[in-house]
């Protein structure tokens, strides 16, 4: 995962009316793909005609920056591919795409159906009828590297496209703390108890809108039991048995890397 802060290159701001043509443009299409120029960098002019909206989101590398949604499919790249093309652009795009999603998803009030308007103060879409405020939505999720001696617990998820084993992970449910979410997910997915739960770090994961909270823990008690539905198999891996991911984009890979390097 990228170790630098998004704010190393970014000064946050927001406006739907500010304009300056000398700018960087994060242009997304309706598949959430990012447009890059022929030399695979950010466009500095707005060549697309069929633009849905243009929003000012602050300064990236000292230059005014806009998020745009456009109807297009030529030279658009999946965000995970952008990570391999340019890490700085990817990091900024993880925010830009969430601003785009927020604006698209809250054009109408989810409570009463009225067309929303931008709030004067916050990056929020406000309902003029019932007053409901609609902010960008982030879904917190936990991921945990569970260790037993020199082994790491990994599980095979039924929803995974590949046959690969992965760390235990899941969304935080309404009403629980993040620590409670870890203990519950581990109990539900593999049926064991853990101890010495330690928070490590977090990562914005815009696929589609997660905030990943990474933990380490140690095995405490119980035998592995999987439900056979969400989780097909789970087992303990020695470091040489772990099959790494193709990409180091995720905090999951960072946890696995730390486990391997701990010997």
Name the token pair of 32: 């959430």
89 near Zn ion, rule: CB under 5 A? no
- Cβ-Cβ contacts under 8 Å for 128 (sequence gap 6 or more): 114, 115, 116, 117
Give the C-alpha distances (Å, rounded to integers) separating 261 from 90, 199, 236, 256: 26, 18, 17, 9
Q: Is 111 in the site for Zn ion (CB under 5 A)?
A: yes
Q: Considering only the stretches 66-74, 111-119, 175-183, 189-197, report the one whose residues sit in contact with Zn ion under the rule CB under 5 A.
A: 111-119
Q: Which 128-167 residues touch Zn ion, going by CB under 5 A?
A: 129-130, 132
Q: How many CB atoms lie within 10 A of CB 10?
A: 20
Tell me which stretch binds Zn ion (CB under 5 A): 8-16, 63-71, 107-115, 204-212.
107-115
When the beta carbons of 90 and 102 are compared against Zn ion, the nearer one is 102
- Number of residues counted as binding Zn ion (CB under 5 A): 8
The binder of Zn ion chosen from 112, 133, 139, 260 (CB under 5 A): 112
Smallest separation, CB 49 to Zn ion (Å) = 33
Q: Which of 34, 68, 109, 141 binds Zn ion (CB under 5 A)?
A: 109
- Residue closer to Zn ion, measured from CB, 12 or 133: 133
CB 209, min distance to Zn ion, A: 22
Question: Using the rule CB under 5 A, is 55 a contact of Zn ion?
Answer: no
Q: Is residue 127 involved in binding Zn ion (CB under 5 A)?
A: yes
Residues of span 20-49 touching Zn ion by CB under 5 A: none
Nearest to 153, CA basis, from 223, 65, 64, 229: 223
Binding site for Zn ion (CB under 5 A): 109, 111-112, 114, 127, 129-130, 132
């Amino acid at each position: 995962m990228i170790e630098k802060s998004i704010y190393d290159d970014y000064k946050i701001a927001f406006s739907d009316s500010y304009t300056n043509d000398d700018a960087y443009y994060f242009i997304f299409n309706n598949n959430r793909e990012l447009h890059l120029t022929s030399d695979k960098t950010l466009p500095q002019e707005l060549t697309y005609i069929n633009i849905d909206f243009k929003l000012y989101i602050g300064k990236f590398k000292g230059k005014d920056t806009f998020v745009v949604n456009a109807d297009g499919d030529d030279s658009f790249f999946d965000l995970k591919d952008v990570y391999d093309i340019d890490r700085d652009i990817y990091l900024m795009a993880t925010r830009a795409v969430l601003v785009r999603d927020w604006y698209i998803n809250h054009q109408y009030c989810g409570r009463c159906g009225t067309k929303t308007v931008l709030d004067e103060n916050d990056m929020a879409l406000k309902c003029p009828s019932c007053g409901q405020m609609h902010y960008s939505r982030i879904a917190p999720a936990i991921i945990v590297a569970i260790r037993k001696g020199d082994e790491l617990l990994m599980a095979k998820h039924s929803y995974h496209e590949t046959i690969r084993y992965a760390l235990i992970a899941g969304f935080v449910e309404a009403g629980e703390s993040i620590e409670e979410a870890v203990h519950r997910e581990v109990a539900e997915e593999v049926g064991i108890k853990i101890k010495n739960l330690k928070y490590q770090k977090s990562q914005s994961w815009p696929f589609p809108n997660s905030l990943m909270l990474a933990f380490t823990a140690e095995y405490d008690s119980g035998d592995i039991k999987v439900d056979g539905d969400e989780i097909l198999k789970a087992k303990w891996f020695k470091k040489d048995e772990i099959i790494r991911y193709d990409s180091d984009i995720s905090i999951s890979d960072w946890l696995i890397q730390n486990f391997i390097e701990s010997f």
